[in-house]
Chains A and B, each alone.
Chain A
Amino acid sequence: GESVGLHLPTLSVQEGDNSIINCAYSNSASDYFIWYKQESGKGPQFIIDIRSNMDKRQGQRVTVLLNKTVKHLSLQIAATQPGDSAVYFCAESYYGKLTFGQGTILTVHP
C-alpha cells in the first residue's frame, strides 16, 4: 500500500542563515494573519501576527510581511538556530475563524 509520509514544502538552512517562509492565502477579505510554529508532538505555538492594515511587523528575530495585492504572507527568521527547526503554518482569519495553510518544514543544520 501507499506509505504515509510528509508532503509539506521543506526548507533547509544552515545555522546562522536567515530563513524566509512563504504562504499564499485564499480570502481577500481576511483581516488578520498569524504565523505558528509546531514542534513534534505539540500544538501550534504563536509566533507573530499582523493585521490587514499593516504590511510589515517585527518581533524578536522574526518579521512578517503582508502583500494583500497578491495575497501573500512571509515569515523571515533572522540568524536561524537549530531550535527553530519545526513546521511553520500561516493562518488567515475572517470573522474570527482561522484557516490554516498547509505548512512548511524548516530544518536548521548546525
Chain B
Amino acid sequence: AQSVAQPEDQVNVAEGNPLTVKCTYSVSGNPYLFWYVQYPNRGLQFLLKYITGDNLVKGSYGFEAEFNKSQTSFHLKKPSALVSDSALYFCAVRDASYNTDKLIFGTGTRLQVFP
C-alpha cells in the first residue's frame, strides 16, 4: 500500500522567516513525490516533484523540498516566507513499483504567513 501524511493541519510563520511544511510517505518501492499549492477557491498549482537524482529539488516561487529516504520524508521549504505564500499545500506520492498513474494526496497543510 502507499500513503502520505501531512502531520500539521496548519503552520504559522512570520514574513521573512524560513518555513517548513512537513510530508512523510509510505511506499513499498521507490517513491515519486509531488508538492502542490492551492489558493482559495482555485485549482491546485504544481510546485515541484522528486523522481530520482538529487535529494534537494528546487521548484516554483522559491520553494524547494528535500527528499530523505531514511526518514521517508519530503518536506517543503522556503528560506524567506512571503504573506502571499499563505495557502493550502498538498503533498502527493506514487509508488514506483505500481503500474498506475494514480497519485495519493495528503490531507493538506494550511500555511499562514503573518506580516
Chains A and B belong together in one complex: no
Query: What is A's interface to B at a CB cutoff of 8 Å?
Result: none
